[in-house]
């Protein structure tokens, strides 16, 4: 689950990471109130107004702007709230902005050279360990840094069994070229950031930029946080941070129905049980000259209700020209699934305008084929993988 910048910063702050402070607002008037409150609390005269959407590169798309007085706060908030923000990380249509973070300006006017760094903590799956990735070249795309000056990117592998050791935090500060107070502040920053990452069960904490102010404080100016969905049950207080407006509506619906669904660009919808078989089915579709329209794992209990829900999801996708159902009946019996398919088909009948190919293999597969073949519906059954592929090819051509 991805978080908004302001939510990530709140978590960081709760673990003692210094942040650029801010207050979230959903209307221009609220933005003005937020700015007034921040001035009282921090003494800041200038504010940055930052669009809160799940996408990076907001600065480039005009979603981060500096306001030098309350009038400008209001003007900028009017402009940003409700806009469709297009950034290098969004689609062409962009993302609608529902709220802004009104933050204190931390790039003080007298500060001739604020230093910006990049820092992230993430899971290194290859090593089965955590990794801190950091660079003195912050504030810009880390991908660009990686491409042009890969030697400017450092990594520190952290064994989850020992946690971040003090010498490692010092190494990070050293490699960023810091000394004196800034060095100390950076070691505290890294340690607190690592703690936030592990204790929140996250798979990513990315701070770009990390700012060193002229008075040698270290601040998180931005945050990109991905919480591990599988660990969310341990964090009731984080569950409410989910903003479904930022997610693909079909994927949200699927999650609610207990289906694993990922929307893709192709023309063949697929309904499969088991993630491995789902991947193999996608390969099969490609081999047959199609492109998978989705990844859909209906799970171990492919009963009529789930099959119908899965149908509904696939049919919402206008790109779909054919549907391939590929179920292996191990725990589930194929005849139950076949009945489910027929029942769902009857319930959705007039909505289904594309050919359907069903391959049911495993327990009671013969019975299942009989049910499909005798249903009188526009459903073709296949027994072998190759047969299914051939039929997909046939209906697409
Ligand atoms: P992103 O573009 O989505 O990564 O959003 P960021 O939060 O990283 O902000 C983009 C850029 O806005 C930063 O790299 C900064 O250069 C700038 N910025 C952020 N906060 C401030 C601030 O307090 N004052 C000023 N002047 N610029 C800021
Ligand atoms: Mn950023």
Give the distance (Å) from ligand 1 centre to CA of residue 375.
Answer: 61
378 in the same domain as 264? yes
76 in the same domain as 181? no
Ligand 1 atom nearest to CA at 103: 23
Which 8-state DSSP code applies to residue 139? S
Cβ of 295 closer than 6 Å to ligand 1, yes or no, is no
Q: Which residues contact 98 (CB under 8 A, 6 or more apart)?
A: 26, 52, 81, 245
What average pLDDT does the segment 174-195 reach?
A: 97
218 in the same domain as 153? yes
The residue range of the domain holding 42 is 21-105
Contact (CB, 8 A) for 158 and 164: yes
* pLDDT surpassing 80 at residue 111: no
Picking from 227, 247, 267, the residue at the C-terminal end of a domain is 247
Residue with CA at minimum distance from ligand 1 atom 19:
221
CATH number for position 323? 3.40.50.261
10 in the same domain as 32? no
5-48 tens-digit pLDDT: 999 999 999 999 999 999 999 999 999 999 999 999 999 889 99
125 in the same domain as 74? no
Q: Mutation test of ligand 1: which of 43, 59, 113 has the most ligand atoms closer than 8 Å to its C-beta? A: 59
Give the distance (Å) from ligand 2 centre to CA of residue 103.
Answer: 14
Which ligand sits closest to the CA of 50?
Answer: 1
Neighbouring CB atoms inside 10 A of 156's CB total 19
Which ligand sits closest to the CA of 55?
Answer: 1
Which 8-state DSSP code applies to residue 11? H
76-109 tens-digit pLDDT: 999 999 999 999 999 898 999 999 999 999 987 6
- Category of 258 on φ-ψ map: left (φ > 0), alpha (ψ -120 to 50) or beta: left
58 in the same domain as 142? no
**Torsion sign, CA atoms 258, 260, 262, 267:** negative
Picking from 201, 223, 247, the residue at the C-terminal end of a domain is 247
191 in the same domain as 164? yes
- In the numeric block, which tokens belong to residue 285? 């579709």
65 in the same domain as 202? no
364-391 tens-digit pLDDT: 999 998 998 898 888 888 878 888 888 8
196 in the same domain as 279? no
Domain total for the chain? 3
Neighbouring CB atoms inside 10 A of 35's CB total 28
272-330 tens-digit pLDDT: 988 999 999 999 999 888 899 999 998 876 677 788 889 889 988 889 999 999 988 88
337 in the same domain as 281? yes
Catalytic choice (6, 104, 116, 118): 118
Ligand 1 atom nearest to CA at 59: 2
Residue with CA at minimum distance from ligand 1 atom 22:
105
DSSP labels for 277-315?
HHHHHHHHHHHTT--BSEEEE--S---HHHHHHHHHHHH
174 in the same domain as 71? no
Which ligand sits closest to the CA of 59?
Answer: 1
Task: Give how far Cα 124 sits from Cα of 1, 49, 191, 346, 391, Å.
Answer: 18, 34, 18, 48, 41
Picking from 105, 139, 157, the residue at the C-terminal end of a domain is 105
| Residue 118 is among the residues annotated as catalytic for this protein | yes
256 in the same domain as 241? no
Residue with CA at minimum distance from ligand 1 atom 26:
107
């Amino acid at each position: 689950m991805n978080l908004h910048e302001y939510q990530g910063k709140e978590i960081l702050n709760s673990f003692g990471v210094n942040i650029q402070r801010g207050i979230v607002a959903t209307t221009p008037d609220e933005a003005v109130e937020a700015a007034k409150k921040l001035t009282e609390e921090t003494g800041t005269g200038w504010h940055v107004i930052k669009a809160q959407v799940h996408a990076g590169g907001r600065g480039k798309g005009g979603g981060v702007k500096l306001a030098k007085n309350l009038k400008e706060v209001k003007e900028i908030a009017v402009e940003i709230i409700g806009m469709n923000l297009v950034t290098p990380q969004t689609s062409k249509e962009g993302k609608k902005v529902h709220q802004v973070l009104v933050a204190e300006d931390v790039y003080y006017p007298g500060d001739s050279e604020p230093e910006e760094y990049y820092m992230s903590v993430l899971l290194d799956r290859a090593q089965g360990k955590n990794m801190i990735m950091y660079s003195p070249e912050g504030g810009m795309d880390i991908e660009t840094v990686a491409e042009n000056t890969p030697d400017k990117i450092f990594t520190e592998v952290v064994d989850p069994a020992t946690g971040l050791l003090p010498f490692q935090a010092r190494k990070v500060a050293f490699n960023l070229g810091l000394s004196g107070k800034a060095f100390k502040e950076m070691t505290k920053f890294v340690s607190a950031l690592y703690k936030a990452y592990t204790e929140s069960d996250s798979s990513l904490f990315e701070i770009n930029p990390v700012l060193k102010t002229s008075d040698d404080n270290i601040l998180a100016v931005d945050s990109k946080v991905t919480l591990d969905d599988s660990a969310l049950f341990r964090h009731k207080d984080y569950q409410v941070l989910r903003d479904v407006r930022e997610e693909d509506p079909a994927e949200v619906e699927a999650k609610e129905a207990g289906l694993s669904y990922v929307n893709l660009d192709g023309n063949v919808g697929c309904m499969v049980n088991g993630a491995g078989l789902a991947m193999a089915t996608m390969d099969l579709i490609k081999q047959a000259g199609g492109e998978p329209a989705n990844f859909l794992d209906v799970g171990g209990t492919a009963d009529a209700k789930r099959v119908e829900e899965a149908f509904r999801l696939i049919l919402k996708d206008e790109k779909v020209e054919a549907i391939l159902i590929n179920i292996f009946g191990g725990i589930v019996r194929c005849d139950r699934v076949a009945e489910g398919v027929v029942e769902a088909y009857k319930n959705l009948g007039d909505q289904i305008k594309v050919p359907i190919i069903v391959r049911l293999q495993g327990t009671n597969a013969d019975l299942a084929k009989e049910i499909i073949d005798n249903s009188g519906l526009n459903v073709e059954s296949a027994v072998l993988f190759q047969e299914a592929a051939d039929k997909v090819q046939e209906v697409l051509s």
